[in-house]
């Protein structure tokens, strides 16, 4: 499997912001504090499905380390998935957690399989969600398999937030793919 990254390069980390866009319909998706899994499941025409693309230990990006408040070049658990309506990817998600905090917590991300991490985090009352950050991520910074879902767009809207439980932080980033906007007839499909 590839060595994918989702965070913007460190020189562009200021692009992750907390300020809303001028599009209220888009903000409704980007800043929604509820479970994205639950929201997508309600919109699916087929069965909601998690397609695991990558899971494993790797060096986290500096942007991810900064968001998790851990040392740069730290090793962490990385999980990348598509959140799908049947076989159609709607969202590319990358979740990361620092190795030492994850191992000390006893929280086992390795055994999720095709279950949604978001569903687990929202059902676990000890996790608190931090502030939501958004960006328009250049498609060339996504793994190749996610780039193939970009429908020739150069940038895609993404959001990320950190779920905290004691000393464990799980950074969840979600990239909204054009097929989602198209399938739900959202104005963003014609407004990239």
Residue 77 — φ and ψ, nearest 5°? -85, 130
Q: What is the pLDDT of residue 116?
A: 87
Q: What is the pLDDT of residue 115?
A: 86
- Per-residue confidence band for 13, with pLDDT thresholds at 50, 70 and 90: very low
pLDDT for 24-75, tens place per residue? 999 999 999 999 999 999 999 999 999 999 999 999 999 999 999 999 999 9
Domain architecture of the chain: domains with CATH = 20-187 (3.40.1410.10)
Q: What is the pLDDT of residue 45?
A: 94
Q: How far is CA 178 from the centre of its chain?
A: 15
SS3 of 11, please?
A: helix
In the structure encoding, which two tokens stand for residue 150, read together? 């970009």
pLDDT for 69-111, tens place per residue? 999 999 999 999 999 999 999 999 999 999 999 999 988 888 8
Cβ-Cβ contacts under 8 Å for 191 (sequence gap 6 or more): 23
117 marked ligand binding residue: yes
115 marked ligand binding residue: no
Distance CA 86, CA 62 (A): 34
Distance CA 137, CA 115 (A): 26
Residue whose C-alpha is closest to residue 162's, from 135, 111, 112, 128: 128
79 marked ligand binding residue: yes
């Amino acid at each position: 499997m590839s060595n994918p990254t989702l965070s913007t390069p460190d020189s562009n980390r200021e692009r992750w912001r907390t300020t809303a866009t001028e599009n209220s319909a888009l903000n409704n998706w980007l800043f929604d504090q509820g479970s994205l899994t639950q929201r997508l499941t309600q919109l699916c025409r087929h069965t909601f499905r998690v397609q695991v693309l990558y899971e494993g230990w790797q060096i986290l990006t500096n942007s991810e380390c900064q968001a998790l408040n851990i040392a740069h070049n730290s090793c962490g658990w990385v999980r990348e998935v598509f959140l799908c309506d049947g076989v159609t990817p709607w969202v590319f998600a990358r979740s990361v957690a620092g190795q030492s905090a994850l191992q000390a917590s006893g929280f086992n991300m390795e055994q999720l399989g095709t279950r949604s991490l978001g569903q687990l985090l929202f059902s676990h009352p000890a996790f608190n969600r931090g502030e939501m950050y958004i960006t328009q991520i250049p498609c060339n910074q996504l793994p190749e398999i996610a780039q193939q879902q970009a429908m020739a767009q150069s940038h895609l809207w993404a959001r990320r937030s950190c779920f905290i439980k004691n000393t464990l932080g799980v950074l969840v980033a979600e990239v909204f793919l054009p097929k989602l906007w198209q399938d739900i007839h959202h104005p963003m499909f014609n407004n990239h």
